[in-house]
Amino acid sequence: MVSLITGGAGFIGSHLAEALLLRGEQVIILDDLSTGSVENIHHLRTNPALHCFFESVRDRRLLAELVDESEVVFHLAAAVGVRRIIESPVRTIETNVRGTDMVLETAAKKKKLVFIASTSEVYGKNGKHPFKEDDDTVFGPTTKSRWSYAASKSLDEFLALAYWKEKKLPVVIGRLFNTVGPRQTAGTAWYCPLLSNKPLRAFP
C-alpha cells in the first residue's frame, strides 16, 4: 500500500506516517512546513519506504504526480492554530478550501480513496450533547476570524460529500477533537469550542 499524507510533517501527520511505516507500507509526505517540522519526521528519514516533498498542497502538478503514485490519500494539510487563524484569515480560507478542492479534484480522476481530516469546530456553538454527525451547525458572526476556520472545514466536508455523490469518489471524513501529545506545539493546538476559547496547553 502506498499512502500520500498531505501535512505529513505535522503533529498528527507525523504519527500517522510512523504508524504506516511500521506496518511495512510506503509513505509519501507532502508538507510546506508552515506548521509542520522536519524534526517531527527526522527519525523516519532513513526509512527507504518514506518519500518527502516539502512543497505546498496547492502545487497542482506535483500533487497530481503524488496522487497518481498513491493508493490512498490522507489529507491533513490545513491552516491550524488559533493565532494563525486570527492573524491570517485569508490564508486560512485559501489553504483549507482550495487545498482540499485540489486534492479531491486530483484524486477523483483516478478514484483514489481520500481521508479528509475535519474538526469538532464544525459543530460551532451547538450546545447539544452528545454530538451527532447530523446535528445542526451554529457559527458565530463573520466579523470574528475564528469562525472562518470552522466554516472552511465545513466547506471541506461539503466538497468531499459532493465529490462522492457526483463523482463517486470514495471519501472518509474524520472530525478530530482535542488531539494532544508528543510533537504538538502550542501554536497548533486544537481546541473544543464548547469548553474554551483558548487552545489547550500542549504536553511537552
| Mean per-residue pLDDT, 134-149 | 87
Higher pLDDT, 194 or 84: 84
**pLDDT band (50, 70, 90) for residue 181:** confident
Q: What would the mean pLDDT of 121-144 be, rounded to a whole number? A: 87
pLDDT for position 80 = 75
Yes or no: say if 9 and 33 are a contact pair by the CB < 8 Å rule: yes
- Which has more pLDDT, 83 or 134? 134
Measure the CA–CA gap between 193 and 62, rounded to whole angstroms.
Answer: 35
Work out the mean pLDDT of the chain and round it to a whole number. Answer: 87
Kindly indicate the confidence band of residue 14, based on its pLDDT and cuts at 50, 70 and 90: very high
Residue 58 near residue 49 (C-beta atoms within 8 A): no
Q: Which of 59-68, 85-94, 188-197 has the highest mean pLDDT?
A: 59-68
| CA-CA-CA-CA dihedral for 147, 83, 185, 76, to nearest 10 | 40
| Catalytic residue (choose from 123, 149, 163, 191) | 149
**Residue-range definition of the domain harbouring residue 80:** 2-188
Domain count, the chain: 1
The percent of residues above 70 in pLDDT, for the chain, comes to 89
> Residue 77: which CATH number?
3.40.50.720
Mean pLDDT across 130-141: 87
The answer to whether position 46 is within a domain reads yes
Residue 194 lies in a domain: no
Neighbours of 19 (CB within 10 A): 11
Within-domain flag for 204: no
Neighbours of 54 (CB within 10 A): 12
Judge whether 197 lies within some domain: no
Q: Give domain status of residue 203, yes or no.
A: no
Neighbours of 83 (CB within 10 A): 11
Residue 191 is among the residues annotated as catalytic for this protein: no
Under the banding of pLDDT at 50, 70 and 90, the label for residue 116 is: very high
Whole-model pTM: value is: 0.86
Q: Does any domain span residue 196?
A: no
In a domain, 118, yes or no: yes
* CA 174/CA 81 separation, integer angstroms: 18
pLDDT at position 130, please? 86
200 inside domain: no
What is the reported pLDDT for 147?
87
Q: pLDDT of 69-112, one tens digit each?
A: 999 999 999 887 667 777 778 888 888 999 999 999 999 999 99
Three-state secondary structure string covering the chain: CEEEEECCCCHHHHHHHHHHHHCCCEEEEECCCCCCCHHHHHHHCCCCCEEEECCCCCCHHHHHHHHHHCCEEEECCCCCCHHHHHHCHHHHHHHHHHHHHHHHHHHHCCCCEEEEEEEHHHHECCCCCCCCCCCCCECCCCCCCHHHHHHHHHHHHHHHHHHHHHHCCCEEEEEECCCCCCCCCHHHCCCCCCCCCCCCCCCC
CB 18 within 8 A of CB 64: no
